[in-house]
């Protein structure tokens, strides 16, 4: 089936599911991954490697807490080093999950069904990790709660005119709403897992999580209604959250930050890196757990197209940024562009352009979109490119501000790198554990999807 | 109908979503009102057949959103103007445009949290024990089974007649649901 469609080479679309899937087959295929089969060797190695990185992360954070942010390469004026770069990158990745779930649900894109759960899970973990960076960047992280509004005995309130306060609120709200979206979507699937679980402990564990879901028709009706409402709330939330992150920069008067294009530019970049990570996760997942019937070429190709679309918006934003710097006639903005393209960090900037603008143009070709190795590679390139872009925005803008006496280079220290790679390990570890505990595909939505097919036959 | 029924009701299993929907229509047509249906995925139109009348969740979502917006705006106004007035570059204390971002976030938070609470309250979840779980094949309701349950609190409920109704509606197997 897939091969003939591939041959055709026309605009014909792949089906959303393959094969003769039955209701029970969906459950067995998805739950069998963690309920019937023991952990695979690849999974074990993944856990060992990621645990090593988790240890590295904990050591880095521990050393940071007892010593201070001086262990990083930051200085004045580059006070926002890797911590903020990592933060913006992770939070951007965390945008795609809710976008796939919410926006595509409202647009009735059926191809979201098999990948939305993996994407939502990715979102929750990415946002949780992202939130750690600004907190530890404070140096005295135990005062982080001062940003929250509460009637304290010090009689001090947050400054509501500060974009950092907005950002804190936005990220907290986003984490809570993403968690709710993820958990309530998971609820009926947890009931499926519960009814299949062997052993008293597992039955109780999943039974408690499933809240006694029994598939009542009225419950289903309200569940669908609720998810649609939540999706309607989550779409503006996704856009607002990364806009707030962008405002952290653009409210400041630093050349390279102070521009109105930042919120939409950041949102596009966030979805760009998010789609890339969804692809990086779902391609091995599909191969490793043989989910070919559920995650088809349709999903991967659609995501590749979405990624390309985001990449084009990013390319446009780079262009406009450069054009406006010249058109504004502002010599500081003009100098920023010259410094960015020819200054000491020029290689970083040009690598960003190569990763984010040039390489993804390969996705115009259907042959490459259907080549999973190429797609995986391009997604990794985009992830690296987006991290570098955050570096360009944060560090190149800061390191040469208005007067040369403020100029200073930023060189990352060992602890900058260990924190970055450690955070990748934390993400990988959380995701691998999730794979052994919970269904990675939304089973009830796939069942609904295959229903009319069965009626025909 | 003579003595107090000791069990929860009668449950029948159906072959598919389509037969379940038709079966529900049949028993509804016969005058039953205490009907419950169970399926492994949402079946379009089933809730309407069972007599779902009004959805309260959208209203609670709206109220939650309004509450979130009002409370967060008030906190910002109160703290910036009354509790902790700060003169920053001579800007007005009640600088409302700066209060909008946080109000938007709390609008969404209030709406989402109220929607979730409303869902749980209207559904009466969590409810870890329910009589229908006693039916031996009911574990298929989360997998590939379609069930219709006629509760014994229905005035029309009668052990023999109801079983016949279920069979007539298309149930292939019928159980008593103990309490």
Residue A414 predicted with pLDDT over 60? yes
In this prediction, residue A293 carries a pLDDT of 82
Closest chain A residue by Cα to residue B96:
A161
Adjacent-strand bridge partners of B13: B147, B173
Q: How confident is the model at residue A2 (pLDDT cuts 50, 70, 90)?
A: very low
Q: Tell me the per-residue pLDDT of A353-394, one tens digit each, with 9 for 90 and over.
A: 999 999 999 999 999 999 999 999 999 999 999 999 999 999
Chain pair A-B, CB pairs under 8 angstroms: 186
- Nearest Cβ partner of B50 from A157, A217, A229? A217
DSSP secondary structure, chain B, as one string: --SPP-SSEEEEEESSHHHHHHHHHHHHHTT---EEEE-SSPPTTHHHHTT-----HHHHHHHHHHHHHHHHHHHHHIIIIIIS---STT--SS-HHHHHHHHHHHHHHHHHHHHHHHHHHHHT------GGGGSGGGGGGGTT-EEEEEETTSTT--HHHHHHHHHHHT-SEEEEE--
Q: How confident is the model at residue A439 (pLDDT cuts 50, 70, 90)?
A: very high
Q: How confident is the model at residue A18 (pLDDT cuts 50, 70, 90)?
A: low
In this prediction, residue A178 carries a pLDDT of 93
Q: Which residue, among B33, B46, B102, B137, would best test binding to A if mutated, counting the most A CBs under 10 Å from its CB?
A: B102
In this prediction, residue B116 carries a pLDDT of 96
Residue A1 predicted with pLDDT over 60? no
Q: Are B126 and A212 an interchain contact pair (Cβ–Cβ within 8 Å)? A: yes
Q: How confident is the model at residue A74 (pLDDT cuts 50, 70, 90)?
A: very high
B64: closest CA of chain A, how far (Å): 12
Contacts of B142 in chain A (CB under 8 A): 27, 188, 191-192, 194-195, 213-215
Indicate the pTM of the whole model: 0.91
Q: How confident is the model at residue A247 (pLDDT cuts 50, 70, 90)?
A: very high
In this prediction, residue B7 carries a pLDDT of 86
ipTM of the complex: 0.93
Q: Tell me the per-residue pLDDT of A121-150, one tens digit each, with 9 for 90 and over.
A: 999 999 999 999 999 998 888 888 888 888
- Nearest Cβ partner of B108 from A166, A225, A237? A237
In this prediction, residue A455 carries a pLDDT of 46
In this prediction, residue B4 carries a pLDDT of 57
């Amino acid at each position: 089936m897939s091969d003939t469609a591939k041959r055709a080479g026309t605009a014909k679309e792949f089906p959303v599911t393959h094969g003769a899937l039955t209701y029970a087959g969906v459950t067995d295929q998805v739950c069998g991954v963690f309920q019937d089969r023991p952990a695979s060797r690849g999974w074990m190695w993944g856990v060992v490697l990621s645990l090593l990185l988790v240890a590295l992360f904990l050591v880095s954070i521990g050393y940071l807490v007892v010593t201070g942010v001086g262990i990083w390469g930051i200085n004045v004026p580059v006070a926002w080093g890797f911590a903020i770069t990592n933060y913006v990158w992770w939070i951007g990745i965390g945008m795609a999950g809710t976008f796939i779930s919410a926006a595509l649900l409202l647009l009735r894109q059926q191809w979201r069904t098999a990948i939305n759960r993996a994407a939502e899970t990715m979102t929750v973990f990415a946002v949780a990790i992202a939130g750690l960076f600004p907190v530890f960047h404070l140096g005295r992280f135990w005062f982080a709660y001062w940003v929250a509004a509460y009637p304290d005995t010090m009689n001090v309130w947050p400054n509501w005119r500060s974009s950092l306060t907005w950002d804190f609120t936005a990220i907290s709200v986003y984490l809570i709403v993403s968690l709710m979206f993820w958990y309530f979507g998971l609820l009926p699937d947890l009931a499926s897992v519960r009814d299949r679980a062997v052993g008293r402990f597992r039955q109780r564990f999943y039974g408690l999580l499933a809240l006694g879901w029994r598939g009542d028709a009225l419950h289903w009706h309200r569940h669908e209604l609720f998810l649609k409402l939540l999706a309607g709330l989550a779409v503006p939330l996704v856009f607002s959250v990364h806009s707030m992150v962008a405002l952290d920069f653009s409210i400041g008067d630093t050349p390279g930050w102070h521009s109105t294009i930042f919120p939409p530019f950041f949102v596009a970049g966030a979805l760009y890196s998010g789609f890339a990570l969804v692809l990086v996760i779902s391609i091995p997942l599909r191969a490793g757990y043989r989910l070919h019937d559920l995650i088809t070429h349709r999903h991967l190709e659609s995501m590749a197209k979405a990624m390309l679309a985001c990449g084009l918006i990013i390319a446009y934003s780079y262009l406009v940024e450069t054009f406006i710097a010249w058109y504004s006639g502002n010599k500081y903005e003009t100098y920023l562009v010259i410094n960015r393209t020819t200054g000491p960090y020029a290689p970083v900037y040009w690598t960003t352009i190569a990763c984010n603008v040039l390489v993804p143009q390969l996705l115009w070709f259907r042959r490459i979109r259907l080549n999973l190795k190429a797609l995986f590679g391009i997604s990794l390139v985009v992830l690296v490119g987006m991290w570098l872009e955050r570096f360009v925005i944060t560090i190149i803008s800061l390191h040469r501000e208005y007067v040369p006496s403020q100029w200073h280079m930023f060189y990352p220290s060992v602890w900058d790198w260990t924190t970055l790679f450690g955070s990748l390990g934390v993400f990988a570890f959380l995701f691998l554990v999730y794979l052994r505990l919970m269904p990675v595909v939304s089973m009830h939505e796939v069942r609904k999807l295959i229903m009319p097919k069965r009626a025909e036959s | 109908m003579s003595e107090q029924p000791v069990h929860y009701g009668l449950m029948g299993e159906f072959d598919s979503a389509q037969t379940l929907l038709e079966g529900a229509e049949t028993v509804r047509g016969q005058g039953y009102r205490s009907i419950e249906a169970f399926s492994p995925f949402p079946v379009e139109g089933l809730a309407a057949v069972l007599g779902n009348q009004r959805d309260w969740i959208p209203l609670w979502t709206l109220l939650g959103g309004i509450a979130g917006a009002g409370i967060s705006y008030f906190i910002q106004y109160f703290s910036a103007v009354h509790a902790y007035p700060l003169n920053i570059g001579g800007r007005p204390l009640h600088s409302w445009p700066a209060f909008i971002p946080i109000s938007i976030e709390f609008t969404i938070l209030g709406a989402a949290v109220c929607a979730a609470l409303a869902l749980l309250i209207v559904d009466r979840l969590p409810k870890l024990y329910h009589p229908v779980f006693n039916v031996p094949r009911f574990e298929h309701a989360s997998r590939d089974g379609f069930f219709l349950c006629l509760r014994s609190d229905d005035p029309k409920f009668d052990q023999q007649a109801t079983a016949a109704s279920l069979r007539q509606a298309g149930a292939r197997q019928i159980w008593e649901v103990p309490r």
